Amino acid sequence: MALSIGIVGLPNVGKSTLFTALTKKGGLAANYPFATIDPNVGIVDVPDARLQALADIVHPGRIVPATVEFVDIAGLVKGANEGEGLGNQFLANIRTTDAICEVVRCFSNPDVVHVEGRVDPADDADIIQTELVLADLGTLERAIPKLEKEARRDKEQASRLAIAQRLQAWLNDGHRAADLDMTDGERAAAHDLFLLTMKPILYVANVDEDALGTELPGIAGRKPIPVCAKVEAELAELDAAEAAEYLESLGLEQSGLETLAQEAYRLLGLQSYFTAGELEVKAWTVRVGAKAPEAAGVIHSDFERGFIKAEVASYEDYVTLGGEAGCKAAGRLRIEGKEYVVHDGDIMHFRFNV
């Protein structure tokens, strides 16, 4: 299951431009089964230079990167929660995403109309936060009567009702649900409510080309990721060599989209491990802190259920020692058990029995 991210923002801030660039760039991802069913959902490869380095050693039939799903919705405007504009009806499309990416306009081009008639990223972020909070209050208003009914029948539901009510008061003060002080149990109950402001949020500042690489002021206490959607759209049209040249001419090491994918991983506490064989070199997504059986379960639940052990090499060893044989010869191919905590970049091979 690909990690999914919903894109929100005011109208005309560059969401669709960014989305189109993202999905064009994901060349390999085009053969993902659901990529074209919904034009507003795009599956994008998570760029990772380590995959190619591994492929240079293993010469696999194919390279399979991890993927992220992006969902583009129409712009939200003030009053969206009351049905103003188009955006509100699309909010449901991002209710089940893992995170939210908010695009804020920083580019100046006066030909592109700003709904509020001025470029002010912090104020734009306030407007969106208000709309998301109001949408969540609507969700709670519908959920609470049901929870009340259930709580009368079932004592266990009482704690779920209590957290919903606490959240309602907190959101009424204009806060994001995720910022409420909650126990782990309460947090889990809150997740079941699918509140938009419960999701981790990333800010993308859509800046002018010449502002790329400059320090940006924080938005709602977070550091925005600077991206120029226009440049990304151009980059998406180029082949790899041309794109690298263009990036260099802009004084950049990687595209904004690559930074975005990496930041999303970091925000969500995710990392990659690899499997490398003749058939394919593949990146798998797993939580930071996950142990070997959980990592195995990402491939197949049987791998987790019947986990015996894992053969593991670090990425650095694998590349410097020239692959599995080299690691083995140097005594750097480890046999790890159930308690092994997976590291980012580990090359893993699982032994299991079901």
Ligand X SMILES: Nc1nc2c(ncn2[C@@H]2O[C@H](COP(=O)(O)OP(=O)(O)OP(=O)(O)O)[C@@H](O)[C@H]2O)c(=O)[nH]1
Place of tokens 């259930």: 150
Query: What's the burial of 354, exposed, middle or buried (CB within 10 Å: 0-12/13-18/19+)?
Result: exposed
- Phi and psi torsions of 162, nearest 5°: -60, -40
Nearest to residue 141, comparing CAs of 171, 103, 96?
171
Least distance (Å) between residue 280 CB and ligand X: 35
Q: Considering CB distances under 5 to 8 angstroms, the limit depending on partner class, which of Mg ion, ligand X, none binds residue 264?
A: none
| Residue of the chain from 112, 169, 325, 341 that contacts ligand X (CB under 6 A) | 112
- Long-range contacts for 182-187 (Cβ within 8 Å, ≥24 apart)? 185/159, 186/159
Q: Considering CB distances under 5 to 8 angstroms, the limit depending on partner class, which of Mg ion, ligand X, none binds residue 121?
A: none
Pick the closer one to ligand X by CB: 75 or 224: 75
> 41-45 and 67-72 as β-strands: parallel, antiparallel, unpaired?
antiparallel
| Residue of the chain from 143, 229, 264, 327 that contacts ligand X (CB under 6 A) | 229
Least distance (Å) between residue 72 CB and ligand X: 7
| Residue of the chain from 47, 75, 121, 256 that contacts ligand X (CB under 6 A) | 75
Q: How many residues bind ligand X (CB under 6 A)?
A: 17
Instruction: List Cα–Cα distances, 347 to 243, 261, 272, 318, in angstroms.
Output: 29, 21, 10, 8
Q: Is 170 in the site for ligand X (CB under 6 A)?
A: no
Pick the closer one to ligand X by CB: 60 or 226: 226
| Residue of the chain from 5, 6, 16, 283 that contacts ligand X (CB under 6 A) | 16
Q: Is 139 in the site for ligand X (CB under 6 A)?
A: no
Please report, as ranges, the residues that interact with Mg ion according to CB under 5 A.
15-16
Pick the closer one to ligand X by CB: 16 or 271: 16
| Residue of the chain from 21, 29, 71, 107 that contacts ligand X (CB under 6 A) | 107
Helix (H, G, I), strand (E, B) or coil at 155: coil
What's the distance, CA 44 to chain centroid? 11
Pick the closer one to ligand X by CB: 114 or 176: 114
Q: Considering CB distances under 5 to 8 angstroms, the limit depending on partner class, which of Mg ion, ligand X, none binds residue 282?
A: none
Pick the closer one to ligand X by CB: 86 or 220: 86
Least distance (Å) between residue 39 CB and Mg ion: 11
Q: Is 79 in the site for ligand X (CB under 6 A)?
A: no
Contact string 172-211 vs ligand X (x = CB under 6 A): ----------------------------------x-----
- Long-range contacts for 225-231 (Cβ within 8 Å, ≥24 apart)? 225/256, 225/259, 225/260, 225/263, 226/106, 226/256, 227/18, 227/256, 227/257, 227/259, 227/260, 228/107, 228/256, 229/14, 229/17, 229/18, 229/21, 229/103, 229/107, 230/14, 230/17, 230/107, 231/256
DSSP 94-130: GTT-SEEEEEEE----TTS--TTSS--HHHHHHHHHH
Q: Is 40 in the site for ligand X (CB under 6 A)?
A: no
Contact residues for ligand X, defined by CB under 6 A: 9, 11-17, 74-75, 107, 109, 112, 206, 228-230
